[in-house]
Amino acid sequence: MMMALWEMDGVAIAAQIAKGEVTAREVTEATLARMDAVNPAINAVVARDDVAALAAADAVDAARANGAHLGPMAGVPVTTKENVDQAGFATTNGLRIQKDLIAQADNPVVANLRKAGAVIVGRTNTPAFSLRWFTRNSLHGHTKNPHNPRITPGGSSGGAAAATAAGVGAMGHGTDIGGSIRYPAYACGLQGIRPTLGRVAAWNPSSPDRHIGAQLMAVSGPHARSVRDLRVSLTVMAEPDLRDPWHVPVPMDGPDYPRRAALCISPEGLQTHPLVEMALREASARLVDAGWQVEEVASPPFREPARRQAQLWLAEMARGAQAAFAHEGDADANHVLAEMHKLTPVPDLNEVLDAMQARVWFLREWQLFLAQYPVLICPVSAEPPFPDLLDLEDFPRVMEAQLTQVGLPLMGLPGMSVFTGFTDSDAGRAPMGAQLIAGRYREDILLDAAEAIEVRGAPIKVVTP
């Protein structure tokens, strides 16, 4: 049975367009129709301009007809998250107070997608301030997981992951400062990669530059239904842009490396759920089958980096965001912020300086470890995807389970969530996966390992909510 256009991955779509087997307009029309069919049930895409999307598709078709060079994502439908600037759209970040913050220019990551020929079909939802691992706000409402509405779609890039899982675009742009790419990929049964700090240029011309915590930890990256789509879309996103001083034009492929991985089921005493352990051991077994050597060992530190990450984040919020939280008045965001303050008080200047100093030691430890084991396999979360809105009932439980999400960004290291299959959790059917971590600018190692895991499992299929 022939696949619908909205079921195909981006690599297949771009190849068919390049060969003239299908037009970019046909792909875009099919994707917009798919959005009409499924988005009301999941509320993943919250802004769209069909006329502009079809015009971008027509430009791809005209370029092909004229024999012009086509970019690597020519005609591939994608979505962008509402916390990055896209000219002509509001950069709401899930906030009513920013509903009229209309971007005049594209964020570099959006500009790079356009230059590669991608067709942006919509903007995706995020929780207020992109703060949670759940996706609901007072501006656009509640995003649901297309696999199971009882579990979270993840956050903060929950709209991106839900849309991609449901066939609204082959790739969804996300951002990650504490798991916001990796966790939605896990919860929605996708492949999702958090790049190294500096790999993908990003900057919002519509807003002031962020403080040092976010500068060191926040990155943009893709969700997709295949690892090969991640490889292409990450390469496209990583094109240089001088507007981001943190960008480093490191080649996407590094030197050869030993096929050796470390497996850590319970980092630093994390109470890992048996279903999560099964997924980790499944990922490990697939790597062994692919010829990798896997050794079960203790991981480098996560707990203290997670505490320091929270300190730097809260220092930024205390400096300028407290008033915005009060003005926005989003009950979910205010609850989460209060719970974060309970677990990690706002640091003073000396604590911020201590956090910056400690970061160097942590990164040194991680670099030495990853030189010995080029990949670490560990939980994305200690639990299967959470029941939706669990953080409003038991925030400490959620925060503890997300140790590896929060601990990694302090070091600026790349990590990804790789899909392993489905399970029956307490909240019903749920996707499962494993987190892979590699050294700085070695996303190629993550993608190689993820492909070995992917090819030995069932392919990711579009889900209809």
DSSP annotation string for 307-324: HHHHHHHHHHIIIIIHHH
Pairing status of strand 191-194 against strand 219-224? antiparallel
CA 193 – CA 172 distance, rounded (Å): 11
319 within 8 A of 282, measured Cβ to Cβ: no
In 3-state terms, what secondary structure has residue 438?
coil
86 within 8 A of 106, measured Cβ to Cβ: yes
Residue (of 288, 306, 294) closest to 264 by Cα position: 294
168 within 8 A of 39, measured Cβ to Cβ: yes
C-alpha 178: how far from chain center? 10
Annotated catalytic residues are 81, 156, 180
DSSP annotation string for 222-291: EEESSHHHHHHHHHHHTS--TT-TT-----SS------EEEE-SSGGG----HHHHHHHHHHHHHHHHTT
104 within 8 A of 240, measured Cβ to Cβ: no
CA 309 – CA 322 distance, rounded (Å): 18
**Backbone conformation region of residue 313, classed left if phi is above 0, alpha if psi is from -120 to 50, else beta:** alpha
In 3-state terms, what secondary structure has residue 381?
coil
**Residues paired with residue 123 on neighbouring β-strands, in sequence order:** 47, 80
Residues 6 or more apart in contact with residue 247 via CB below 8 angstroms: 108, 198, 199, 200, 201, 240, 241
How many C-beta neighbours within 10 Å does residue 264 have? 23
